[in-house]
Structure 1
């Protein structure tokens, strides 16, 4: 059994949203879509930084300053400090 790709998960969540028969099912699908989109966004920010893209350029895409982009993304990209 293969690993489900993010694209497959997005398509499944979109289908659930379209087929939802009540507000709670729609909300759950929308929540999942947002979580997947957040994950994709962080992966792409990490990839951009790994390729040497400056924080100022990332910030510009979001209408932020360099510092604004760092504040928005840096904490999600840095590894957690060791517990020991």
Structure 2
């Protein structure tokens, strides 16, 4: 999941280090941010697919369940029914 995206971040960081003018540095910084955001969204999606809760995601950011939902729900789309079953099993265990 993260290997390709972390490679994108490394490449963008290399471009940022190599930038000789401020415009090139800004463009590289933008690429770093976009790659990091994509990695963050993919990681949150994986947490949900694996049965993780919005409360767990919110806790990573020092916020509530609702904070986790507000940050990612519109980016992740509807829940996978299988993930909902995994969450129920985790709570019962």
Q: What range describes the TM-score normalised by the shorter chain of this pair?
A: 0.7 to 0.9
Q: Deviations over 1:8-30 (max 9, x none)?
A: 32222111100111111111000
**1:20-59 CA distance string (max 9 Å, x none):** 1111111100000000000000000000001111111110
Report the TM-score, using the length of structure 2 for normalisation: 0.75
Alignment partner, residue 43 of structure 1: 42
More helix by share: 2
Query: What 5-or-longer segments of structure 2 have no aligned partner?
Result: 79-93
Higher RCO (C-alpha 8 Å, min separation 6): 2
| RMSD of Structure 2 on Structure 1 (CA) | 1.2
In the aligned structure 1, how far is the partner of 2:37 from the partner of 2:8? 13
Tell me the matched-pair count.
75
CA distance in 1, matches of 2:59, 2:10: 29
TM-score by length of 1: 0.83
Structure 1 unmatched runs, 5+: 80-84
Where does structure 1 differ by over 4 angstroms across 4 or more consecutive aligned residues?
Answer: none
